[in-house]
Structure formats: structure tokens, C-alpha cells
A and B are shown apart, each in its own frame.
Chain A
Amino acid sequence: MLTLFERETLNLATLNDEQTAIRVEQLNLAFDKKSVLSEISMRIPANRIVALIGQSGCGKSTLISCFNRMNDFYPQCRYEGKIIIDGRNINHRNENVAQLRARVGMVFQKPNPFPMSIFDNICYGLRLQGVTQRRQLDEAVEQALKDAALWNEVKDRLFDPASVLSGGQQQRLVIARALALKPEILLLDEPTSALDPLTTLHIEELMAQLKKRCTIVIVTHNMQQAARVSDYTAFLHQGRLIEYSDSDTLFTTPRKKQTEDYITGRYG
């Protein structure tokens, strides 16, 4: 029988280590005594875009922050369970967190370029890694800006302050800044919620391009966005992983009623 359309055929439950970028096992997380994430287990496939959706306060931002241990900045935050990236449990106390964050890039809701030139913004991470040679930096900046589809717009004003860029350009600059470190995983925490729809589409297209280079985990409030960009979608509710499957299935025929209610806008 003729097959008209190609479909993703990864089985999330049986991904092997090669195909897995992040493996989460029995992750529990609590702020003070309040449980935020409970018993999360999931495998995030490599070179795919995985969206985390759910209501505000369902723990999706907390979960994404676990992947580069940004939760460490909250002293009242306690977590247990394993998160395995590249064969290492990053929740281990001996993990070099700074190095981890260099390998797992993160982009936040509001574009947050540093108050320096565009060039210096992109070099920031590299310089921290000890790269000082001008030629190396030049090449890295060009590559990162090209990867972030920003090169043509800013190549003539690399040394202007980053604040002259528009919101969408700033967000792409921030993405370029993360890409300069050649991360294996890119975490996007509502990267487009502060941007206008068209700029949002540009960023989304950028994500689709970046998929070849790294695994992308995106948290979004915007279900349509999750549907548009993601290959796989995880729905969280009150700190639990309710449903996690490929986006085609989840957005056309969800298996759980809670998911259906959420994506069809039926929550009270």
C-alpha cells in the first residue's frame, strides 16, 4: 500500500542510549516542603524538539531548569532521582555545574543580552571557557550568528551594543550566545512569550533548523506553539507527567482525559 506521508517512528519507551539525550528517572523535587515534581521519568530523544506544556505552576519550568541545575540557586529546593545526560548523572553532587551549563545551553523568556557589544555577548561563554585568541573568537561569533540566522542582520555592526537590536533579534542573539558554546542540549524557557507573532515564527523556524545540531527542550504556555514546533510533547499536571508522546498523536488523539481537557481548553 502506498504511504503518502512520512512519520516519526521512535518509540519513546524503548529508546536506546544512543538515541536518548536526557534520561530522567524517578525525579522528585520540592521547594521547602511543597512538592513540585513527583516521579518524573522520561527519555528525551536526541536531535528532536520536545515541548513541555501544562498550566502555570505545573512544574514545567522547574523541570527544564533541572536539566542544567538552575534550581541550585534556590537554597530551599531539594531534589532526588537521576537525570542522565551523556551517561552521567548530573544530579550527582560532584558534577561540575558550570561545565554542565556550558554544555546544556538555556534561553529565557525575556531576551537578556548583556550590556556589551554583540560580539562580546557571543564571546562571553567562550571567554569563560578560556578561549582568548581573537581569530578563534571571530570564527565562533560568525558561526554562532549564522546558526542563529542573525549574521546577515548584524554583520556590519558587531561592535554596537546589543541593546540596539529588536526584541526578536535580541532573542536570536541570546540563542547565538548559547550556540557559540556548541551545546548538546538547548533548553528554551518560553523563548517567544515576549515577542510578536511574526518574530515568534522566525524563532520557531530557527528551532527547526537547529534540530540537526542539538536536542531542544522547550517550555511553552502556548499550546499552538508546542504543536507547531515540537516532535514530541509532554503534558505535565500538578508536578506529574500525565502524557508524553509524539505531538501528532498528542494533539489529534490524546489518550488521557486530562490532556484532552487541557489542549482543548476545557479546564475550569
Chain B
Amino acid sequence: MQQVAFNTHISGKFNTELENLRNSVLTMGGAVEQQLIDTIKAIRYNMPGLAEKVMLNDAAINSMEMQIDQECLRIIAKRHPTASDLRLVMTISKTITDIERMGDEIERISRLVTKQQLPSSETVKSSMLLICEQVAQMMRGTFDAFARQDEQSALEVYEQDDLIDNEYNKLLSYIVGEIEKNTESMRDWLEILWALRSIERVGDRCKNICEYVVGLARGEDARHSTLENMVKRLKNFS
């Protein structure tokens, strides 16, 4: 299927609306990315103030989600988009949910800093930061792929999630070992485990968005299929 440019409608206003919608998603994505970067900074340097700001900023992201959702609704009601336009609007509608949830997860991570429950072990902290950095990179890649509607780079980003999962599992088993050594520190570890879980979830949501991008670009639902399958089907397409 040939990719259709979104700004070629007869109605100039519709073009502008779709462009604005797309840009607003990128704006929202950028805001979430900034949240993650701020969170990493807050963890690394233990800055509760910055973490506080991240938590407050989440409200702005929620508002963005509402606005974009409203706009999607309005466009569907007024413009009756079809085919690629409809897929775009629906994809955006789903994407922003995922982005909003990413924001929520990030808020939860930054809560570690505000509650001063950061891991005392430098090893764990650095591993955690490593995963965070990887997720941030993945997020950047995801939004980049979304902006360019480039399913190839979306697939590359998709693959990164396995690395993150590996790291996550390694760190998880390490922490489980630590807990077994010292069961009293269980309470402290629990919060960290939640935060780690959140980071991993952010990666998963990036993966979701990548799936949407592939679906949007190819006009086929690419979710919930294994990577091999997807690659095979992509080969069939091209």
C-alpha cells in the first residue's frame, strides 16, 4: 500500500486540522520524554525538587490527552474521516492513551525520589538508570518513528524492548537474590520493584505505539504478533 500524505485534501482546513493533531501528539510525546529525562536526572542526582516538578507536570500531560481526545472526537464528528485519515485519527486516539499512561508510570518512578526510597545499592541504581536511559532512547525512537510514520525504524525500536526486558529480568533476579539475603529490607525493595516494573511498562507502551505506527503505515493491524511473523509479513508486502 502506498503511503498517503495527510496534507493533500481538497479542504485546506482539514489538512491543517490533521497536521495540528499529529503535531499535538508529538508535543505530548515530547513532554513525556522530557518527564522521563527529568526523572532520570532526579534519580541520578537525587533531586526531590525536580521529581516534584515531574509529578506536577503530569497534570499537564493529562490535560493534553483530554484535548487531543476531544479534537479526535471533533474531527470524527465534523470531518467524517475515512481510510488513512480514519486510521490516523483512531491511532492517535489510542496512542495518546498509551502516552498518558507512560506519563503516569514516569510519575510513579519519580515518586521514588520524592519519598526518598531510592535503592541504597549503587549497583542497582546504576542498573536502573541504565534501563531508564534505554527506555528513554526507545521512547525517542518511537516518537521519531511516529513523526515520520516510518515502520522500519518502528520495528527497530520494537526490537529494543527485548534488551530492556533482559536487563529488567537480570536486575529483577539480582534484587530477588538481595531480598533473599536480607528479608527485612523487603519493604524498601518493594517500591523499587514497582518502579522497575513501571519502567518496563513504559517500554511496553513504546512497543504498543510502534505497533500502531506499523499498522498505520501499512494499513494492517500488527499488534500481538511475534516479531518474526511481522517481518515475514512485511517481506510479503514489499
Contact = CB atoms under 8 A, between A and B. Distances in A.
A4 B24 contact: yes
B12 A202 contact: no
Interface in A173-205: 198, 201-202, 204-205
B74 A248 contact: yes
Given A1-B63, A4-B64, A5-B67, A227 B78 contact: yes
Q: Chain B binding site: helix, strand, loop or mixed by DSSP? A: helix
Given A2-B63, A5-B24, A227 B11 contact: no
Interface in B7-25: 9-14, 20, 24
B78 A248 contact: yes
Contacts of B67: 3-5
B10 A251 contact: no
Contact of A205 (B11, B71, B74): B11
A169 to B, nearest CB: 15
B27 A208 contact: no
B73 interface: yes
B17 to A, nearest CB: 8
A4 B68 contact: yes
Q: Chain A binding site: helix, strand, loop or mixed by DSSP? A: helix
Given A224-B80, A227-B80, A198 B64 contact: no
A152 to B, nearest CB: 15
B62 to A, nearest CB: 10
Given A2-B63, A198-B10, A228 B71 contact: no
Q: Size range of the interface on B?
A: 20 to 34
B12 A247 contact: no
A94 interface: no
A4 B24 CA distance: 6
Contact of B74 (A1, A208, A252): A252
Interface in A1-41: 1-5
Contact of B78 (A4, A5, A205, A247): A247
Given A3-B67, A227-B78, A208 B24 contact: no
Contact of B77 (A202, A208, A251): A251
A14 B26 CA distance: 37
Contacts of A208: 11-13
A3 B79 CA distance: 21
Interface centre among A1, A2, A202, A228 (most CB of B within 10 A): A2
What are the nearest 4 A-B pairs in CB distance?
A201-B10, A4-B24, A227-B78, A251-B77
Interface of B: 9-14, 20, 24, 27, 60, 63-64, 67-68, 70-71, 73-74, 77-80
23 contacts: A1-B60, A1-B63, A2-B60, A2-B63, A2-B64, A3-B67, A4-B24, A4-B68, A5-B24, A204-B10, A205-B10, A205-B11, A205-B12, A224-B80, A227-B78, A227-B79, A228-B11, A228-B78, A248-B74, A248-B77, A251-B74, A251-B77, A251-B78
